[in-house]
């Protein structure tokens, strides 16, 4: 699944002009009608309601709207204030980290029918601006003048990279997040949706984890740099709301996987790393060695499902408080079960070995998706084994160009 050759570093997906056609080669067979049927209840009524709400907005000038609102820590007030701020003008949505796993999934879902005619999507990467630089970040925002932002850009990595580089994860992500949120504030962006992660929750906690528990205790020591940096996004979102009335919010996905992931065995996340290992073991006729005991448990979310949920959050979720985007607790699987799903998908027939000298990381971080289900009771997640199969097929097909 390759981008067409004419695609520049910045990918624009204007839903009404030739740029969309330009993106068509990026989209491929494994996206299907799920994109269009994800929100049946929303298509009939929710969208209209949202438009009516938008009509209430005063003038569409976000700076003006901010001044009219009286910030309050109360959730209902926050939601009301955010609704009032929405203008009726076309949206220009800037996606930072637009070339990564999640960014590419949003590109694909937008290009395959989820985009709307009043939206212009701009996907940027580190080639457009190094977001650790305040000057480059501000220039990026002044160039594109977004009305909305999906903020994905981050230093991201698996357990072993986190253990090695906690300081780098903290510093880079703190700089990126502060630069993006402050530039968004200065440029009058109407809404920002940033991305946290369930691995930032306290290590010692009760299960299931929910959105109210982010700051209740220290995160697991293996990834404290990444975790504290991500938690500060939530702190900043509250600050921007309470001081300036900004509609900055965040989502909390569980472990994401899918096409365009980082399949590096040392530095990537567990599932893409395992896919790469199975691919090599099959090629070499060797055993598959899984790092750790295989006992830790994870909730995995397919990047294309996450992309559809991100778009819903951008358009319709009105709270400043974050929302967990996850499959249900009943869909949590052990690392062993995940490895077995990959083995089956890739038809690997060799031996499976668990190297128990390697770290397991956090044993589990079971998250509740009750809040998500309250809003979207009928959202359909792609079954885990089907999503694994699609990802394995993508990796095998794109082996030479995949990040690894
Ligand atoms: N993957 C997961 O399992 C997972 C789980 C929960 C939450 N998340 C969160 O989801 C978001 C997206 O993750 P992902 O897995 O899609 O990451 P990814 O595939 O590693 O992509 C990272 C993106 O960030 C950009 N980026 C990194 N450093 C940058 C910088 N200094 N300036 C500008 N852009 C920069 C990269 O641009 P280049 O391509 O140019 O380097 C790339 O587009 C992140 O915020 C991550 O914390 C991920």
* Domain that residue 218 falls in: 5-259+301-329+367-382
- Quick check: is 343 in a domain? no
- Going by the DSSP 8-state scheme, the letter that residue 64 receives in this structure is H
354 phi, psi to nearest 5 deg: -110, 120
Residue 166 confidence (pLDDT):
96
- Quick check: is 285 in a domain? no
Whether 48 shows a pLDDT value over 80: the answer reads no
- Quick check: is 394 in a domain? no
Compute the half-sphere exposure of residue 10: CA atoms within 13 Å on the CB side of its CA.
12
The number of folded domains in the chain is: 1
The CATH number that applies at residue 72 is 3.40.50.720
- Quick check: is 338 in a domain? no
| Mean local confidence (pLDDT), 43-63 | 34
- Quick check: is 105 in a domain? yes
Per-residue pLDDT band at 217 (split at 50, 70, 90): very high
Residue 36 confidence (pLDDT):
28
Per-residue pLDDT band at 157 (split at 50, 70, 90): confident
Cis upstream peptide for 210 (omega within 30°) = no
Separation of CA 361 and ligand 1 centre (Å): 21
* Gap between the Cα atoms of 104 and 261, Å rounded: 9
* Radius of gyration for the chain, computed over Cα atoms and rounded to the nearest angstrom: 21
* Gap between the Cα atoms of 40 and 46, Å rounded: 9
* Gap between the Cα atoms of 282 and 120, Å rounded: 43
Whether 35 shows a pLDDT value over 50: the answer reads no
Whether 234 shows a pLDDT value over 90: the answer reads yes
- Per the CB < 8 A criterion, the answer to whether 253 and 143 are in contact is no
Separation of CA 262 and ligand 1 centre (Å): 10
- Quick check: is 342 in a domain? no
What lies within 8 Å, CB to CB, of 206 at 6+ separation is none
Residue 358 confidence (pLDDT):
87
- Per the CB < 8 A criterion, the answer to whether 196 and 252 are in contact is yes
Chain segment 162-214, per-residue pLDDT in tens: 999 999 999 999 999 999 999 999 999 999 999 999 989 999 999 999 999 99
Query: Is 226 one of the annotated active-site residues of the chain?
Result: yes
> Among 17-21, 101-105, 150-154, which stretch is predicted with the lowest mean pLDDT?
17-21
Chain segment 346-355, per-residue pLDDT in tens: 999 989 999 9
| Mean local confidence (pLDDT), 8-29 | 35
Residue 50 confidence (pLDDT):
33
Label residue 315 exposed, middle or buried (CB < 10 Å: 0-12, 13-18, 19+). Answer: buried
Residue 88 confidence (pLDDT):
60
Q: What residue's CA is closest to ligand 1, atom 8?
A: 197
**Pocket residues: Cβ below 6 A from ligand 1:** 97-103, 125-127, 130-132, 152-156, 176, 195, 197, 253, 255-256, 262, 269
Mean pLDDT of the chain: 82
- Quick check: is 142 in a domain? yes
Separation of CA 275 and ligand 1 centre (Å): 20
Chain segment 60-110, per-residue pLDDT in tens: 333 333 323 233 334 333 333 344 445 467 899 999 999 999 999 999 999
Residue 248 confidence (pLDDT):
98
Residue 267 confidence (pLDDT):
77
Per-residue pLDDT band at 380 (split at 50, 70, 90): very high
Query: Which one of the listed residues 226, 240, 279, 302 is annotated catalytic?
Result: 226
Per-residue pLDDT band at 361 (split at 50, 70, 90): confident
- Quick check: is 109 in a domain? yes
Per-residue pLDDT band at 215 (split at 50, 70, 90): very high
Separation of CA 198 and ligand 1 centre (Å): 15
């Amino acid at each position: 699944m390759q981008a067409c050759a004419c695609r520049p570093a910045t990918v624009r997906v204007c839903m009404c002009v030739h740029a969309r056609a330009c993106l068509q080669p990026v989209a491929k067979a494994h996206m299907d009608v799920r994109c269009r049927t994800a929100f049946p209840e929303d298509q009939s009524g929710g969208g209209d309601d949202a438009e009516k709400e938008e009509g209430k907005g005063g003038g569409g000038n976000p700076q003006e709207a901010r001044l009219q609102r009286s910030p309050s820590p109360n959730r209902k007030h926050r939601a009301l204030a955010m609704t009032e701020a929405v203008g009726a003008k076309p949206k220009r949505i800037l996606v930072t980290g637009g070339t990564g796993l999640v960014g590419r999934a949003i590109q694909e879902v937008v290009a395959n029918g989820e985009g709307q005619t009043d939206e212009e999507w701009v996907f940027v990467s580190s080639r457009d601006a190094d977001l650790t630089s305040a000057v480059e970040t501000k220039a990026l925002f002044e160039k594109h003048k977004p009305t909305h932002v999906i903020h994905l850009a981050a230093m991201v990595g698996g357990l072993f990279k986190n253990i090695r580089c906690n300081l780098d994860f903290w510093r880079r992500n703190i700089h990126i997040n502060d630069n993006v949120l402050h530039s968004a504030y200065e440029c009058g962006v109407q809404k920002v949706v940033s991305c946290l992660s369930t691995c930032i929750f306290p290590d010692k906690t009760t299960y299931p984890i929910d959105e109210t528990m982010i700051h209740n205790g220290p995160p697991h020591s293996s990834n404290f740099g990444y975790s504290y940096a991500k938690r500060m996004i939530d702190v900043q979102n509250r600050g921007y709301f309470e001081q300036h009335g900004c509609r900055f919010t965040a989502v909390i996905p569980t472990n994401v996987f899918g096409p365009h992931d980082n399949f590096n065995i040392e530095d990537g996340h567990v599932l893409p790393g395992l896919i790469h290992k199975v691919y090599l073991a099959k090629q070499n006729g060797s055993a598959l060695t899984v790092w750790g005991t295989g006992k830790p448990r994870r909730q995995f979310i397919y990047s294309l499902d996450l992309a559809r949920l991100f778009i819903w959050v951008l358009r319709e979720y009105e709270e400043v408080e974050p929302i967990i985007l996850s499959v249900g607790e009943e869909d949590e699987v052990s690392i062993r079960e995940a490895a077995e799903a990959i083995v089956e998908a890739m038809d690997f027939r060799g031996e499976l070995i668990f190297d128990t000298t390697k770290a397991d990381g956090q044993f589990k971080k079971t998250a509740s998706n009750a809040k998500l289900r309250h809003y979207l009771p009928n959202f359909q997640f792609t079954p885990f084994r089907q999503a694994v199969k699609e990802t394995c097929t993508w990796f095998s097909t794109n082996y030479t160009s995949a990040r690894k």
